[in-house]
Amino acid sequence: MAGEEENSEFYLRYYVGHKGKFGHEFLEFEFRPDGKLRYANNSNYKNDTIIRKEVYVTPAVVRECRRIISESEILKEDDVNWPEPDRVGRQELEIVMGNEHISFTTSKIGSLVDVQSSKDPEGLRIFYYLVQDLKCFVFSLISSTSRSSLYKMQQSIKCLPDKLHSWVVYFSIELTFLLCRPNH
């Protein structure tokens, strides 16, 4: 990726949710231009409370997120023929990369069967896999910020120089992402 492209504007927001028996349940995450990753997960099942986390990510993490989006080719897609949000739920994806700004809205997708039966299976398949990749990436980042994960990681790499320490943390996140990525 060119240096100019790397430094251009970047924003991503994903939301999936529905209103049902347990109230408004949703998952939402956002990469902001200042490097802040915001995450919220609200499941009222068995009186669970909302989980909110905010972390600042490194430029390397933002580059990886941009790469995932670029390689998916989602910016070439259009949601005109995708299923409309319904009582089952809705998904929203908004991306700003450089001069491109795109927003998608569709229903919740339960499986690839839903994708194949749509009016635009190819475009919806790209969306479906991108969302899976982004969720996995964000879950890896969020779980790596938990106190026990950070403590264990710090203990195992505390003797490393700072530059190598950053690389090891980034590598562990990348490895986690690759391990949970579906084959497609």
**CATH number, domain at 95?**
3.30.1560.10
125: containing domain = 3-180
44: pLDDT confidence band, cut at 50, 70 and 90? confident
Any residues with CB less than 8 A from the CB of 148 and at least 6 apart, and which?
A: none
157: pLDDT confidence band, cut at 50, 70 and 90? very low
10: pLDDT confidence band, cut at 50, 70 and 90? very high
Tokens representing 61 are 């993490």
- Output the pTM of the full model: 0.76
What's the pLDDT at 21? 79
Beta strands per DSSP E along the chain: 10-20, 23-31, 36-42, 51-56, 90-97, 100-107
pLDDT in tens, 77-86: 999 999 999 9
Domain count, the chain: 1
The pLDDT > 90 percentage for the chain reads 59
Mean pLDDT score, 30-49:
88
Tokens representing 157 are 């790499």
CB 12 within 8 A of CB 31: yes
| Residue scoring higher pLDDT (30 or 24) | 30
How far apart CA 171 and CA 167 sit, in angstroms, is 6
Mapping DSSP to helix (H, G, I), strand (E, B) and coil, where does residue 134 land? helix
